[in-house]
Amino acid sequence: MSEFVEKSCVIEHGGKKFESGGAMQVGKHMTAYLKKTSPTVESMSGGKKWLITDWHGNVLSDEVRIINTKPIWNGRFSNTLYYLRFKYGGRIYSGTSGGDGTLIKARITKLNNLFSS
């Protein structure tokens, strides 16, 4: 599995350009985005299909399991913290996210599958 750092993550607003760091996988760490698809698509996470994507919406993984959720009081972007696992490049990652469209910070685990404890 090769490391990557996503490029060209620019938003233009009011005539000004703003650049984000985008998705990256370096060493044991990965940063990406959590995306929820149609709730009619069945999946491992209780009837909602979650995807791991890069900044541009390209799917990095469709094997995602939401492990737990925790309320966030006065959260800036979300009222819920999601604990999740996903598979990328043949490895299992574990991390947290604020939900649909928000950043994921994860690291490689020693687990063999998404359902290991």
Contact predicate 68/81, CB 8 Å: no
pLDDT digits (tens, 9 = 90+) for 15-53: 888 777 778 888 899 999 999 886 555 554 455 689 999
The pLDDT score that the predictor gives to residue 45 is: 47
Q: Which pTM was predicted?
A: 0.80
The Cα–Cα gap between 71 and 79 comes to 6
User: How many Cβ atoms are within 10 Å of 93's Cβ, its own excluded?
Assistant: 26
The pLDDT score that the predictor gives to residue 78 is: 82
**Band of the pLDDT at 113, cuts 50, 70, 90?**
confident
The pLDDT score that the predictor gives to residue 2 is: 66
Asked if the model's pLDDT at residue 103 lies above 70, the reply is: yes
